[in-house]
Structure 1
Amino acid sequence: MPSLVAVCAVHALRPDSGSVGVTAIDKRALDGAVRIGPLGVRADVQASRKHHGGPDKAVYAYAQDDAQFWEQQLGRELAPGWFGENLRLDGVDVNSARIGEVWRIGDTVQLEVTMPRTPCATFARWVGGSAGRGWVKRFSDEGRLGAYLRVRRAGDVRAGDPVEIVSSPSDAPTVLELYRS
């Protein structure tokens, strides 16, 4: 059964040369039960609310399989939160999720897939070094983007909780199809 590997929130705001001057991409796994409310994971921050956060981008999910792919490509471990994600999921093909699909995590939380992540220059600077050069195109071309989600039902989640796809609109585009359209 699909499961929640980790729930992540900002570890520290970092200086960034982008227009905001800081980034909240440095997210790390949290221990124990973590509250997810209408605007996302409790204790998380979005430095640029113009591009991240709000009801339709309350939570960012990334797949463990995709993280393992990038670990092989980059030759280093990429712990939960490294992609700036709030949820690291195992057994869910996040990029094939349909827009409007509803997931239940644990007993209570329900999330709705709203849109793909669009990689940005801040993400490329986070990757750093030679890997950061051309990162936005490389990440986009590979199609391992992850998805933003809206919170339909708030509650507590923790690593190890089951993830269930409650409903999936068969006529809606997938995360990747929407990104490439």
Structure 2
Amino acid sequence: MNLGRAKTVTYTDHPDGVTGIDKRPVDEPVRVTAPGPKGIGASGLAGDAVCHTRHHGGDDQAVYAVAREDLDAWERELGRTLTNGSFGENLTTEGLDVSGALIGERWRIGRDVVLEVTSGRIPCRTFQSHLGEPGWVKRFTQRGAPGAYLRVITPGEVRASDPIEIAHRPDHDVTVAVQFRAVTTERALLPRLLAAGGALHPESLEAARKYMQRHGS
């Protein structure tokens, strides 16, 4: 479990020059709730800063998860240590294929909390500058393993040691990786996203519908 505090930097486009991308692990229990609509709501985790609510946070991006295995792979490639939270993620999972999760898949964390997968994370300039890796946005996009945004279905408290159980898997094949490719590098995949229905992030759902209107099936 990783939380961030607002930090003044030179590389964000936030009008006040602050970002909460620098997440750090915490051991104490954290309250998880739906934060409210995008543009108004911030993080789903109490005590976690989401500064630029125009692009980040809100009900459909309440929690961001990255697999520890993906961080380990990037460590080997980049030749540097990536601690939990390095990608700005709230949840650093183990033994879970996060980018292979299905849109609408539900995770039970600990005793009470249930989260639902909505989309992959789109990299931005703040992410690139935070890591200090030139060309990072392109490199991260080409890898196609973006981690997952999740909405809060059932609120409650979570702890760093809580297990994650897949409580529900929907009956379609639209993974986070497919959704990410559809909205970034392979727009022809957009119609396929419609199979995920209302579980899909609203912005991706709108993009898929507009594509269908322009191009048909």
SS of aligned partner of 1:50: coil
Give me the whole-angstrom Cα distance separating, in 2, the residues matched to 1:16 and 1:150.
30
Higher strand proportion: 1
Structure-2 separation of matches of 1:172 and 1:100 = 11
Matches within 5 A, 1:169-180: 169-180=170-181
> Which structure features the higher share of helix residues?
2
Amino acid corresponding to residue 62 of structure 2 in structure 1: A
> What SS is found at the alignment partner of 2:99?
helix
Per-residue Cα deviation, 1:72-98 (whole angstroms, up to 9, x for no partner)? 112121111110000000011000001
Aligned to 1:62: 66
Aligned partner (choices 100, 103, 108) of residue 107 of structure 2:
103
The alignment status of 1:32 with 2:45, answered yes or no, reads no
What is the Cα deviation at residue 13 of structure 1? 1.4
What percent of counterpart residues are identical? 48
Is the CA contact 2:118–2:151 (under 8 Å) kept in the aligned structure 1? Answer: yes
Of 39, 48, 54, which residue of structure 2 is paired with 1:44? Answer: 48
For the 8 Å contact 1:113–1:147, the answer to whether it is kept is yes
In 2, Cα distance between the equivalents of 1:152 and 1:23?
26
| Pairing 1:126-137 to 2, within 5 Å after superposition | 126-128=130-132, 132-137=133-138
- Indicate conservation of the 8 Å contact 2:59/2:151, yes or no: yes
Letter in 2 for 1:138: R
Could you state the TM-score of these two structures normalised by the residue count of structure 2? 0.77
Distance 1:74 1:165 in 2: 31
Say if 1:71 and 1:77, in contact at 8 Å, map to a contact too: yes
2: distance between equivalents of 1:116 and 1:180?
9
Query: Is this contact kept in 2: 1:11–1:26, CA < 8 A?
Result: yes
The alignment's C-alpha RMSD in Å is 1.1
Q: Tell me which amino acid in the other structure corresponds to 1:23.
A: T
SS at match of 1:176: helix
Q: Which has the higher contact order (CA 8 A, sep 6+)?
A: 1
From 56, 75, 85, the equivalent of 1:71 is: 75
Where do 5+ consecutive residues of structure 2 fail to align? 36-43, 183-217
Partner Cα distance (1:51, 1:147) in 2: 15
Verify the 8 A CA contact 1:14 1:26 in the aligned structure 2. Answer: no
User: What one-letter code is carried by the residue in structure 1 that aligns with 2:11?
Assistant: S
Of 5, 8, 11, which aligns to 1:14?
Answer: 8
Determine helix, strand or coil for the equivalent of 1:112: strand
CA shift at 1:172, angstroms? 4.5
Q: 1:113 aligns with which of 107, 117, 122?
A: 117
For normalisation by structure 1, the TM-score amounts to 0.91
Which contiguous aligned blocks of 4+ residues in structure 1 show a shift greater than 6 angstroms? none
Aligned length: 172
How many angstroms apart in 2 are the aligned matches of 1:12 and 1:50?
16
Which string of whole-angstrom CA distances, capped at 9 and with x for unpartnered residues, describes residues 78-136 of structure 1? 111110000000011000001110000001000000110000111110111xxx21100
Q: Cα 1:50–1:126, aligned 2, differ >3 Å: closer, same or farther?
A: same
Greater CA drift, 7-16 or 157-166: 7-16
